[in-house]
Amino acid sequence: MDKEERAVHQELCNEVKIFAVKIAEKIITICQGDLVMNKSLLDILVKSQSNPSFKKQMEMTSNSEQLRGQMKNLWTSIRTKVFTNYSMKGFK
């Protein structure tokens, strides 16, 4: 795969990531946080918000700002809906 093909492939992968993150955020909103998320998924999401290498990788793509925004929206939904629901149910 040459450099141009890789760039197109990366762009397509980012579009799919953005779409998947939007769907996840919508599901959380529809379910009003009534979901049980496993620890490994939560770890990945936390790292995606704080890991410098992840941020650097996202800066190399043209859709990085949109993906970063969607990830931030997803994390906000998890914090406000899922964690609030966990607190009400007594999960730790």
Question: What are 32-70's pLDDT values in tens digits?
Answer: 767 777 888 778 777 777 776 666 665 555 567 788 888
The per-residue pLDDT for 23 is 92
Domain containing 58 equals 3-89
How does the average pLDDT of the chain come out, rounded?
A: 78
Comparing CA positions, the residue from 28, 60, 58, 62 lying closest to residue 42 is 28
Q: How many domains does one find in the chain?
A: 1
Q: What is the C-alpha to C-alpha distance for residues 70 and 68, in angstroms, rounded to an integer? A: 5
Residue 82 per-residue DSSP state = I
pLDDT band at 89 (very low <50, low <70, confident <90, very high): low
pLDDT band at 8 (very low <50, low <70, confident <90, very high): confident
Comparing CA positions, the residue from 15, 73, 14, 31 lying closest to residue 49 is 73
